[in-house]
Amino acid sequence: MNRLFERLLLPAALLLLTPSALQAHTHTTLMGTVKAIDATHIEITLKDGKQRSIPLAKNTMFMRGKDMIQAEQVKPGIRVVIVLAEDDKTAEHVKVEAGTKTK
């Protein structure tokens, strides 16, 4: 019985578990120009001219390159890349264009 398990059932069990591991969530990214920002959301204009309002979470990180910045440093007119959280609704990261001065 032990040999049967090793030869047939174990590989079958591994094959059944593999698809769920391969379906890992990929984060959606949005690129655009900041139209407005406050403590609860950021509005951006996408390349195609459409506008999106993305809610901000308390743990949303704001970055320029590898450096963390304050949310207050993100101003209208700055180009950003927003990485959405797993819910595909709230912003997980707001990445400011590296060459942009935010002071």
- 8 or 72: whose pLDDT is higher? 72
In a domain, 50, yes or no: yes
In a domain, 71, yes or no: yes
Question: For residue 49, what are the domain limits?
Answer: 29-96
Cα 101 from Cα 73, distance rounded (Å) = 9
Give 57-88 pLDDT, tens digit per residue. Answer: 999 999 998 899 999 999 999 999 999 998 88
In a domain, 2, yes or no: no
pTM: 0.71
What is the domain count for the chain? 1
- 9 or 29: whose pLDDT is higher? 29
Cα 2 from Cα 6, distance rounded (Å) = 6
In a domain, 85, yes or no: yes
In a domain, 21, yes or no: no
Give 22-33 pLDDT, tens digit per residue. Answer: 455 577 999 999
Q: What is the CATH number of the domain that holds 51?
A: 2.40.50.320
Cα 51 from Cα 37, distance rounded (Å) = 13
